[in-house]
Amino acid sequence: MSSILPIIDTGLPTGIVEPFSTRVARDAETLTRDSLTELQINLGKLCNQTCTHCHVDAGPTKTAENMTPRTAKRISELVGKCDSLTTIDLTGGAPELNPSFRNLVSNFRDHGLRVIDRCNLTILSEPGQENLGAFLASHQVEIVASLPCYLEDNVDTQRGSGVFQRSIKGLQQLNALGYGQSNSDLQLNLVFNPTGPSLPPDQATLEADYKRELKKRYDVEFNHLLAITNIPIKRYAKFLKKRGVLVEYMQMLESAFNPQAARRVMCKAMLSIGWDGQLFDCDFNQMLGMPVAGKTSQTIWKIDSFDEYIHQRVAVADHCYGCTAGAGSSCGGAVI
């Protein structure tokens, strides 16, 4: 598949990097979905925050782009037919703001599936969400929470004034429920995104720093830190362009291409579903409108099983350099 440049609408000149499809085919292997163990479901773009690194362009005004109960029901039906699935990853926006969120969680957990909630932490203190933490704990939902730094100024710069303190209160609330504790099965993982145009540092070293500082400063504990590279699309691409470093950032990602990371990217075992039921190879392709397998638009209404997409080629473009640079990047953190 020839490379397209989906971030061209941000003003990025063409020809500044070797097309990703060419590079990955030469130095690693053509990307194919070898299995299907995970679904990442975007419940919509409605969010109580507006972050500079958000590739979804989510925010408080995105009320129209949210999953309907009918779409949620159809996804549940298809999940019940796919025996290979082990994990459901719920994301947004703030996925908890979708009216179907709790029904989906209950349904997937009843099927014995591992459920991940991509939680921004401040949602726990929003009006109407007072019992959210207790609900997540009672269903043993794994929480993956964004906290780009353990320093207040850095977090508030990226995510908005006051977000850090609300995030800390959210973490303390989750700790009180048993999340992140050594004697508990309730998993609480944090996500680090660089606040500047750089690759994440070593994940293990950074995790040790986070655990030390959050415990010392706020008596907060968690299980693991996931270091994720910022992908140059949508709002983050515009942020880079405004700073005049978009071209340099793309060139940095290309120069850090790692064939080992390319062989372990998340799209080889995952499928992404948009809030409207469209199917994609990953969350980033979803935000760029690149249909699954590079075909015409595919939706949950046109298929009988998610298994149809096993052994199919993954649609790629130059933003994929972000997932294959350095130690690699996935929704589960570094891949090597």
- Tens of pLDDT, residue by residue over 195-210, are 789 999 999 999 999 9
- Determine the residue type at 171: L
How many CB atoms are closer than 10 A to CB 219? 11
CATH code linked to domain 6-324? 3.20.20.70
Q: How far is it, in rounded angstroms, from Cα 66 to Cα 62? A: 8
Cα distance between residue 269 and residue 38, in whole Å: 6
Pairing relation of β-strands 38-42 and 270-273?
parallel
In Å, what is the CA distance from 258 to each residue of 6, 254, 312, 323, 329? 22, 9, 23, 9, 11
Task: Check pLDDT > 80 for residue 144.
Answer: yes
Q: Are 260 and 336 in contact (CB under 8 A)?
A: yes
Give the per-residue pLDDT at 217.
96
Q: pLDDT tens across 37-58, in order?
A: 999 999 999 998 766 555 666 6
Please say if the pLDDT value at position 2 is more than 50: no
Model confidence at 78: pLDDT above 70: yes
pLDDT reading at 118 higher than 70:
yes
pTM: predicted TM-score of the whole model, two decimal places:
0.93
Positive/negative CA dihedral, 129, 58, 281, 225: negative
The single residue listed with the structure tokens 């925050």 is 49
pLDDT, mean of residues 52-74:
82
Kindly report the number of other CB atoms within 10 A of residue 311's CB atom: 11
CB atoms within 10 A of CB 183: 5
State yes or no: pLDDT of 106 exceeds 90.
yes
- In whole angstroms, what separates CA 126 from the centre of its chain? 22
**Weakest-pLDDT range from 2-16, 179-193, 213-227:** 2-16
Mean pLDDT of the chain, nearest integer: 91
CA distance 28 to 314: 14
Domain map (residue ranges) of the chain: 6-324
In contact, 45 and 66? CB cutoff 8 Å: yes
Q: Is the pLDDT of residue 251 over 90?
A: yes
Cα–Cα distance for residue pair 30/305, rounded to 1 Å: 24
In sequence order, the 6+-apart residues with CB closer than 8 A to the CB of 188 are: 142, 143, 145, 171, 174, 175, 179, 180, 221, 222, 223
Tokens found for residue 290: 């690149």
